Amino acid sequence: MKRSNINLLICLDALLTERSVTRAAQRLEMSQPGMSNALSRLRELTGDPLLVRSGNALILTERAHALARKVREGIELMDEIFANEGPLELASATGMVTVAAADSMGMAVVPALSQRLAESAPHVTLNVRQPDPDHLREWLSEGECDLAIGHFPDLHPDLRSTPLFPQPLSCMRAKATADEPLTLDAYLRRTHVVFGSPFSPRSTIEQTIGRALAAAGLDRPRTVRVSSVLVIPYIVAGSQHVATLPTWMCRHFAGFLDLDVSPVPVELPQIQNVMVWHERTHRQALHAWVRDTVRAIAPGEAATGIDIRTVP
C-alpha cells in the first residue's frame, strides 16, 4: 500500500466518525483545507460522496455506512501491528492512557494506579474521565477512552471485561435526623439525593436500584440530583435527605462528617464492578500492563488506608 493511502484511511476513519470536516481535522491536528483535500481524494477513490449535506449537518451515504466498520477494523489492525513491535520498556514508554471511571472507582483505584505509573512509567500521561454507559462501546472502540472501570450491567458483546470486586450498598443520613430506625416505610418517605443530574451521564448504580424497587412495586422521591457523587455526603450531612451509596463510601465519609450509616431496608442486587476494554487495545503491551496493574490493586487502600473489599 502507498503511504498516502494509509494516511487517507486514517482521514476516512476520522471523517466517518466525526461527520464533520472541521472536527475530523481537529482530531488529527490537520488544517481544515488539508482535510477537505483528503475528502475530495477519498471521493475519487471510492466513487462515492461519502458525506452529504442534510440541513446544517453532514450525513453518511449508504456506501459510507458500509465502509465505516471495515475502516475502523483496518485502523485497529494497524494499531495492533505497530503496538507489538519490540518489548515494552516502561521506563521510557510514552503516550497517554485514558480511563473512564466513576467517582467511587476514581477514589478506589486511580490513586494507586497513578502512583504505579509514576514509579514505573513516568512519561505516560493518565487521563481520567467520567464514563458514559450509553456510549461506552463507541468510546472504547474509537479511542475516546482505553479502559473503563465501574458497574456496567449491560455491556455490548464486542467488549472484553473482567470482574474486579463487588460494592455492597448502604444508606446514610445526618445523625441529627436518625432518631428512628430506617425502616422501608421511612426509606420510601424520605427525600433522596442521587447521582444523575441532566448534566451528567446516566448512573448505572442508580438504574440498578431503580429497577429493583420498581420490580417490587416501590419508588422513592429523588428530589436532589447531582453531577458528582462526591458532593452527596455533604448534602446529606446538612439536610433531611437520605442517600444510597457503596457501603465503603458511606463509612469513609462518616469518619469525618456527622453521618449515620444504616443497611438498605430492601433487598438490592449486588453492584459488581468490572474492568472493560476493546479489542483495539487488547494486545497493546502498555495497556495490558495497565490492566494487570488494576487487577493487582487493593481498592481504596491508597486513598483511605483500607482495602474496601474488607468493609462490612
Domain residue spans of the chain: 3-83, 92-165+273-310, 169-263
Task: Please indicate whether the domains covering 3-83 and 92-165+273-310 agree at the CATH topology level.
Answer: no
What proportion of the chain, given as a percentage, has pLDDT over 90?
67
CATH superfamily assigned to domain 169-263 = Periplasmic binding protein-like II (3.40.190.10)
Environment class of 86 (CB within 10 Å of its CB; exposed 0-12, middle 13-18, buried 19+): exposed
Compute the average pLDDT of residues 200-205: 85
Compute the average pLDDT of residues 252-271: 95
Q: Specify the CATH architecture of the domain 3-83.
A: Orthogonal Bundle (1.10)
Cα 189 from Cα 177, distance rounded (Å) = 13
Residue 85, pLDDT score: 55
Q: Is the pLDDT of residue 1 over 50?
A: no
Residue 4, pLDDT score: 56
Mean pLDDT (the chain) is 91
Cα 58 from Cα 71, distance rounded (Å) = 19
Compute the average pLDDT of residues 219-243: 95
Residue 76, pLDDT score: 76
Compute the average pLDDT of residues 271-287: 91
Q: Specify the CATH architecture of the domain 92-165+273-310.
A: 3-Layer(aba) Sandwich (3.40)
Compute the average pLDDT of residues 11-22: 90
Residue 80, pLDDT score: 67
Q: Is the pLDDT of residue 186 over 70?
A: yes
Residue 77, pLDDT score: 78
Cα 257 from Cα 239, distance rounded (Å) = 12
Q: Is the pLDDT of residue 141 over 90?
A: no
- In this prediction, residue 75 has a pLDDT band, given cuts at 50, 70 and 90, of confident
Compute the average pLDDT of residues 3-28: 85
User: Mapped to the 3 state alphabet, what secondary structure does the chain carry?
Assistant: CCHHHHHHHHHHHHHHHHCCHHHHHHHCCCCHHHHHHHHHHHHHHHCCCCEEEECCEEEECHHHHHHHHHHHHHHHHHHHHHHCCCCCCHHHCCEEEEEEECHHHHHHHHHHHHHHHHHHCCCEEEEEECCCHHHHHHHHHHCCCCEEEECCCCCCCCCEEEEEEEECEEEEEEHHHCCCCCCHHHHHHCCEEEECCCCCCCCHHHHHHHHHHHHCCCCCCEEEEECCHHHHHHHHHCCCCEEEEEHHHHHHHHCCCCEEEEECCCCCCCEEEEEEECHHHHCCHHHHHHHHHHHHCCCCHHHHCCCHHHCC
Of 218 and 87, more confident: 218
Residue 55, pLDDT score: 83
